[in-house]
Structure 1
Amino acid sequence: MVSLFREPSPVLAPFVDVLWYIDEPLPPGRERTIPTGAAQLVVNLHEDTLRWFDSDHHDVHHREEPGHDDEDGGARAVRAAHRTSGSGLIGALTRPLIIDNADQRATVGVAFRPGGAAAFFHPPANVLAEPVIALDSLWGRDGAVLRERLLEQRTPESALQVFESVLLQRVVSAPDSLVGKAVERLSTGARVDEVVDWSGLTSTTFNRRFRSAVGLNPKAFARVRRLQRVLRAVNGYDDAGAGGGHGAGDGDWSTVAVEHGYYDQAHLINEFRMFTGVTPTAYRPRSPGASNHLPLPSRLPPSADHEH
């Protein structure tokens, strides 16, 4: 088992949060992944495919299959399965995405900072709003051969070096410093109207500029980041990343709601379920360090999926 995380070089630091190489076989099944407000670029080294499944009843093109629970802690009905090549961009989303554990067995990836992925793709807004897009459809031949180059590397360290060198060659625009500062303010709890006033832009101009860089409108982004602050708190991390906080088993959700700016506990529960697919009391991450990955119980064999 290998889990290697690497900070980006100074040149990439404005765009990239962390690069990773993970070789960690997981039990057969699926996980529901929670939106973070940022995009990721993932390469599956185990096989040349990425699979994901529609996970919410608001999805327009889902097909339900019998045999799955819709209870708080269980799996909802099976949705239509999707498949692309093994290198893909996962956009900045507002709904949970269901992924196959088989695709997480051996991966190399990069977690962008909110708005950071826009520097590598054009036009960014349309790209970042999609659940998963094959990298070769964005980068052409460079995207198609990236996985091959990573597979040729003999060590995780060299694979990450290759990945970083590719990213350095693909930067197409400078970071939007105003959007970057707006992201910081919204991520720490500032109100959207306050940030718009601070920017000196009209609301329409600010919203358009923010969405072009981040892939989400400011209000949606602020809600996602607030939920992420809640998850850090219930998993025992404070804003500085240190242990502490409430702990997932405390169950004092009314206090959590007040501390994070929700109207009341009911408001928190509604937001929590929308972004995670479960209620707060049913939230059971794979581990505290994988707080955005929720193992999903399934009663149907993989052969029951319908791909398109």
Structure 2
Amino acid sequence: MRFVARKPSPALAPYVARLWCYESGALTHTRERIVPTGGMQLLVNLHEDELRWWDGAGLDRAHRMHGAGMQGIYDRPFAIDTIEQRAIAGVSFAPGGAWAFCGVPASALARDHVPLDALWARDGATLRERLLEAYARGEVLRELERVLLARLSIDRLGRDLDVHGAVRALHDGMTVRALTDALGSSEKRFVRAFVARVGVTPKRYARVLRFQRVLARVAELERVEWARIAAECGYYDQSHLVHEFRELSGLTPSAYVPRLPEEPNHVVLG
């Protein structure tokens, strides 16, 4: 397994968290459950010209498209094909950052994967070929950054919203009403701008952030006490945590076993 990541250039830093490339040999399992992270990603399969994923209550509804696409924000689980992980390059966007490259509100991509040519036309259709050439030269992340710099378009969509500040406040447990008061904005206007930039409502996003805090806390502990984690992460009680955990991941807390400790959002399906 080989994972290479780099921070973006200063021009991209407000919108991009990192650029990355992942390579692995054949895995013993064929599919993985992906739990919600609150993020959006650009994905390019360098192993084959296809992206495959499954959603639905049983993760049994199959989808496929060409090998370059945009993954919208998810607030429920989906499954991926591990064959794609033989060689895949991607961009993990900062909260609210993908809008600067998509040309559509983030809400239009929520809970879905969208072919890149549907968003970027010819540039999207040819991106995989460009990255394959760069991959052969060992320059795939540099080429990916060049593409993003050329696509960067800052328009008025949600321009008046401090997404990073709003996300930090939600992460710290501030309510939407308190946040809108602090921003001097009406709740309706704030929610509309947030959904356009991030893809889901601030309340839904805050639930995903809280769920991610649970996963981070679990990774730190040798012995997990769910009642204690519920209290630490802002749930009413353990039953509230269990309900939220099941709704967001499709699993009970006791059934959650990540593929690796450093990959808490990937759960082996078989």
Output aligned runs, 1:94-109, within 5 Å.
94-109=75-90
Provide the residue aligned with 2:210 in structure 1: 226
Structure 2 matches for 1:237-252, cutoff 5 A? 247=221, 249-252=222-225
Q: Which residue of 2 aligns with 1:187?
A: 171
Deviations 1:51-93 (CA, angstroms, capped at 9, x unpaired): 111142xxxxxxxxxxxxxxxxxxxx45221111111111111
Task: Say whether the 8 Å CA contact 1:28–1:102 is kept in structure 2.
Answer: no
Q: Is the Cα–Cα contact under 8 Å of residues 121 and 127 in structure 1 kept in the other structure?
A: no
Query: 1:264 and 2:237 equivalent?
Result: yes
Q: Which range moves more in the overlay, 101-110 or 188-197? A: 188-197
Counterparts of 1:40 and 1:118 in 2: how far apart (Å)?
11
User: CA shift at 1:24, angstroms?
Assistant: 0.9
Of 252-261 and 96-105, deviating more is: 96-105
Structure 2: how far apart are the matches of 1:156 and 1:130? 34
> Counterparts of 1:131-210 in structure 2 under 5 Å?
131-154=112-135, 157-173=138-154, 177-210=161-194
Q: More helix per residue: 1 or 2?
A: 2
Alignment-derived partner of residue 262 in structure 2: 289
SS of residue matched to 2:90 = strand
SS at match of 1:52: strand
Deviations 1:74-125 (A, max 9, x none): xxx4522111111111111111111111122210001111101011112223
Please report how far the alpha carbon of residue 157 of structure 1 lies from its aligned counterpart in structure 2 after TM superposition.
4.8
Indicate if the aligned counterparts of 1:43 and 1:147 stay in contact, CA closer than 8 A: yes
Structure 1 or 2: larger strand share?
2
CA contact (8 A) 1:48 1:86 kept: yes
| Aligned mates of 2:41, 2:52 — CA distance in 1 | 15
How many angstroms does 1:2 deviate by? 2.3
Tell me by how many angstroms 1:277 deviates: 1.4
Aligned-partner Cα distance in 2 for 1:154–1:235: 33
Given that residues 107 and 195 in structure 2 are in contact (C-alpha distance below 8 angstroms), is that contact kept between their aligned partners in structure 1?
no
1:33 aligns with 2:14: no
Report the Cα distance in structure 1 between the residues aligned to 2:138 and 2:206, rounded to whole angstroms: 35
Give the C-alpha shift of residue 18 in structure 1.
1.1
Counterpart amino acid of residue 198 in structure 2: V
Tell whether the 8 Å contact from 1:4 to 1:21 is kept in structure 2 after alignment: yes
Paired residue for 1:89, among 57, 62, 70? 70
**What is residue 42 of structure 1 aligned with on the other side?**
43
Structure 2 residue 110 is the aligned partner of structure 1 residue 129: yes
Q: In 1, Cα distance between the equivalents of 2:245 and 2:135?
A: 42
| 1:27 Cα deviation from its structure 2 partner | 2.6
* Rounded Cα–Cα distance in structure 2 between residues aligned with 1:150 and 1:270: 42
For 2:44 and 2:89, locate their aligned partners in 1 and report how far apart those are by CA, in whole Å.
Answer: 5
Aligned length: 266
Percent identical pairs in the alignment equals 47
Separation in structure 2 between the aligned mates of residue 264 and residue 94 of structure 1, nearest angstrom = 21
Q: Could you tell me the TM-score, scaled by structure 2's length?
A: 0.94
Secondary structure, counterpart of 2:239 in structure 1: helix
Contact 2:72 2:106 in 1 (8 A): no
1:187 CA displacement: 2.2
Contact 1:251/1:281 (8 A) holds in 2: no
CA–CA distance in structure 2, aligned partners of residues 180 and 80 of structure 1: 34
Cα distance in 1, alignment partners of residues 178 and 143 from structure 2: 41
Which moves more between the two structures, 151-160 or 99-108? 151-160
SS in 2 for 1:152: helix
Amino acid at match of 1:213: R
Aligned-partner Cα distance in 2 for 1:154–1:113: 24
Contact 1:27–1:101 (Cα < 8 Å) also in 2: no
Moved more, 273-282 or 119-128: 119-128
One-letter amino acid matched to 1:203 = E
1:7 is aligned to 7
Residue 176 of structure 1 and its aligned partner are, at CA, apart by 5.2
Equivalent position SS for 1:293: strand
**2:134 counterpart SS class:** coil
- SS of equivalent to 1:255: helix
Gaps of 5+ in 1: 57-76, 237-246, 298-308
